[in-house]
Structure 1
């Protein structure tokens, strides 16, 4: 089970079926809830007053999925401390191999035994652990050993196969027809309690949780979701699978009524590809993206919630070949607007590699269109290494030349020696932050010792005097902030810092 502050899954439905019919107000000065504008109506034809009959037909196809894992455990309680190897009876402290288990949910999608679940349900729970076996258990307690047919880490989906015939199964529906307020039913195995049924409504569609990537777009529900529900199906009232329960938003790890399911419209084609033994390919531009916040939008001179900033362009990748530059604001991809609900990473990743598409961007306040031949997204492991955020140990050595601009930061020019120390590119230029006033806006925006500032108001800086001059010019021009481009261990972002009065 995964969390968004902790991410996990399974959706539900519950209650009596009362439908509401919303009529548009007659005029602009009419309240949305004007008396008579909203009327309770009888349940639509076919809507159940109870879910019992529907659940009785669906429940046999929902399964419990468990794994047996081999984990190495260090039995020395003083391991990693100065007392390791010094305490009698603890010499050596050699790791021992133990077994661990995990529990989740899934559902059968064919009579011959193909099973869908979340990838994290059948993955190793600890670093270094090895999954030895996967077991699928039906509500009637029949158990089958499962073979992993395919998995996709980014979408968090996996397909298993068990040997059997005439097995109960369910079909995918069309999640595009789902509307906020629709009833949904979830069946799963929270805490190993097999066949648990919950109910709720769809709280939101196309919900972006902030994880990024091609599949950061979920159905949100208020159904009760807990550990073990991951991988289970979300049903509409027709009994179709419209979502795969995947995550919950929870400050405590328990259900607080905010759960997320992978929409069937995204899951079905991935599942079909994995069943064929094929891998999933996604589009890739080769850029580092940064969200366009309100203060950044002001600095770039673009409307809020419109587009995504290009914080870095990878050499040799599709974006560079098309002429996209750092600092561009991409506002439209393949004739679709970039918005908070339709992110740049989502749009690009869902374009087939090799396709030529138009991309609209804003550069220096002017809108232009470039044509990009979309590349292939590298494996997630490679991307994780490429964009490493573990960066807070930077420790540049003091230099003879240092200066403080009126931003509450002390900086020094970047030298080859400092570049090696902070992990900057050998060809990088800029000034390195030596210290930050804890009471300054720069500190509040996260600037720290070892950060590399390459531009201020999109003008290159090489010395402390360059930075001070640009800040002074901005202040003289009536600006209250300066736009910095800051790199940390090769990962860059734009930061707006307030100029003290």
Structure 2
């Protein structure tokens, strides 16, 4: 059974959840190090004693329809399966459900960081401190894109808290310590190393540290500490075939979290910069088709009305530098733009027709722009006949095809009618109904336009031709071989 990526999530409780622990075996992992590595700490006890008072357990309560989801994980056919069924509400009747997670205090006046999925949909949030004290919490704000939430409690005295460290300084192989409330068992410490950096899972702003420190359900929202007792990550997800820890856990890097927390604290929401372009990575074949020396930067696929269009950026530009920082790929640019100040002009360097050009772009706010529809642009089309080329059967857009594809009256391009399953086009994801709007970074409305672009690329010694494909309004570039 293949491994699946899952959130360690808040742990749903059952009246006799402790019985589940009887079914779990214990394994001892003894890390070994090469001779040239620093020796492992003799003990993590002093560090654990120092940071424990700032780590909290979080219990949320909400009304749900039907049996509580995320309950004890019992293998199918297990003798515990029937045992736990008696605690589920019958007939899908609404019931109050409790869930457990983790978090940590970041200020003496009671601000607490956790995962958004720990408190999402909760009616009540209760914080339990290391010493056993319990306080209700107020939700300050959330950011689903990074799965971060900020809470606040009102305490009679200053609270113990921890500080964020610089996650960019965390090296692969460095020791780290995870704390939280795994499987509802209460405060727990596990140790491991940073296994990898800059992991991306599914989010736009993902920048995870991977660790082999044990992370299980209930650890969600808990801190990942370096050996100085600083938080370098927020434990968020695990990769596992069975929902339990197999030593592949992911913690959102603290340098991402701190920016989100600062905005949630100040505004109660995030305020990210918006460049106003659709982009994709520059692959080696795309780089070759454009005559680029290396596959680097972010390729602009579409420029709707907004900051970039106003500044003169066009589809086909490759953004190589943003605000003085080199752009490695599309994700790199997205994160840099998100961190940039709204309403300020920033220099953006693009490659266009083999030349570098610097444009000044005044950034908008992403949260406001995301709610606006983005129409598909184009030009009038003509003629109606088909063409077989590059493994594709094509014909120009007409009014009937526009209606079928949900396009606008002025949209133009070549519609893919069939794709040869043995062709490179099929392997690279082209399918029936896709619309080719550009070839060689020039508009195509007629079949002859595409034929001309192919011949021009061959005459220039190119091995491939860059096509701009639209599907359901979303653009992307694909480079197809044009060798005879």
* Secondary structure of 2:94 counterpart: strand
* Secondary structure of 1:286 counterpart: coil
* Secondary structure of 1:268 counterpart: helix
Shift of 1:251: 5.7
Tell me whether 1:246 sits opposite 2:236 in the alignment. yes
Tell me whether 1:157 sits opposite 2:154 in the alignment. no
Are the structure 2 counterparts of residues 353 and 219 from structure 1 closer, same or farther at C-alpha, using a change threshold of 3 Å? same
Shift of 1:269: 4.0
Q: For the residues of structure 2 that align with 1:437 and 1:17, how far apart are their CA atoms? A: 52
Are the structure 2 counterparts of residues 478 and 364 from structure 1 closer, same or farther at C-alpha, using a change threshold of 3 Å? closer
Structure 1, residues 203-248: CA drift from partner, whole Å, max 9, x if none?
334x0416453x3223232222222222101111122222212233
Are the structure 2 counterparts of residues 375 and 381 from structure 1 closer, same or farther at C-alpha, using a change threshold of 3 Å? closer
> What is the TM-score when the length of structure 2 is the normalising length?
0.80
Aligned to 2:357: 368
Q: For the residues of structure 1 that align with 2:361 and 2:168, how far apart are their CA atoms? A: 29
Q: For the residues of structure 2 that align with 1:341 and 1:204, how far apart are their CA atoms? A: 20
The aligned runs of 1:279-290 (5 Å cut-off) are 279-290=269-280
Aligned to 1:437: 420
Structure 1, residues 39-78: CA drift from partner, whole Å, max 9, x if none?
45667xxxx410122212322322222322233459xxxx
Tell which has more relative contact order, 1 or 2 (C-alpha 8 A, sep 6+). Answer: 1
Aligned to 2:207: 217
Tell me whether 1:189 sits opposite 2:178 in the alignment. no
Shift of 1:106: 0.4
Shift of 1:469: 4.1
Q: For the residues of structure 2 that align with 1:436 and 1:17, how far apart are their CA atoms? A: 52
Q: For the residues of structure 2 that align with 1:476 and 1:56, how far apart are their CA atoms? A: 71
Shift of 1:435: 1.5
Are the structure 2 counterparts of residues 417 and 322 from structure 1 closer, same or farther at C-alpha, using a change threshold of 3 Å? same
Aligned to 1:463: 446
Aligned to 2:61: 68
Aligned to 1:132: 123
Tell me whether 1:57 sits opposite 2:50 in the alignment. yes
The aligned runs of 1:50-449 (5 Å cut-off) are 50-72=43-65, 96-124=93-121, 131-166=122-157, 167-205=159-197, 207-209=198-200, 211=202, 213=204, 215-250=205-240, 253-315=243-305, 317-340=306-329, 343-378=332-367, 382=371, 401-449=384-432
> What is the TM-score when the length of structure 1 is the normalising length?
0.78
Q: For the residues of structure 2 that align with 1:9 and 1:386, how far apart are their CA atoms? A: 34
Q: For the residues of structure 2 that align with 1:40 and 1:105, how far apart are their CA atoms? A: 32
Shift of 1:373: 1.1
Question: Aligned residues, how many?
Answer: 436
Q: For the residues of structure 2 that align with 1:461 and 1:180, how far apart are their CA atoms? A: 48
Are the structure 2 counterparts of residues 491 and 54 from structure 1 closer, same or farther at C-alpha, using a change threshold of 3 Å? same
Structure 1, residues 356-394: CA drift from partner, whole Å, max 9, x if none?
1111110111111111111111259637x7699xxxxxx
Shift of 1:16: 8.8
Are the structure 2 counterparts of residues 19 and 450 from structure 1 closer, same or farther at C-alpha, using a change threshold of 3 Å? closer
* Secondary structure of 1:343 counterpart: helix
2:273–2:338 Cα contact (<8 Å) kept:
yes
Q: For the residues of structure 2 that align with 1:251 and 1:386, how far apart are their CA atoms? A: 39
Structure 1, residues 425-471: CA drift from partner, whole Å, max 9, x if none?
43221111112122211111111111111112223222334324433
2:405–2:433 Cα contact (<8 Å) kept:
yes
Are the structure 2 counterparts of residues 465 and 305 from structure 1 closer, same or farther at C-alpha, using a change threshold of 3 Å? closer
2:140–2:268 Cα contact (<8 Å) kept:
no
Q: For the residues of structure 1 that align with 2:224 and 2:234, how far apart are their CA atoms? A: 6
Coordinate RMSD, CA, aligned: 3.2
Shift of 1:338: 0.3
Are the structure 2 counterparts of residues 217 and 332 from structure 1 closer, same or farther at C-alpha, using a change threshold of 3 Å? same
Q: For the residues of structure 1 that align with 2:444 and 2:265, how far apart are their CA atoms? A: 53
Q: Choose between structure 1 and 2: higher helix proportion.
A: 2
Are the structure 2 counterparts of residues 177 and 16 from structure 1 closer, same or farther at C-alpha, using a change threshold of 3 Å? farther
Q: For the residues of structure 2 that align with 1:40 and 1:438, how far apart are their CA atoms? A: 52
Question: Which runs of 5 or more structure 1 residues have no equivalent in the other structure?
Answer: 21-37, 75-93, 125-130, 389-398
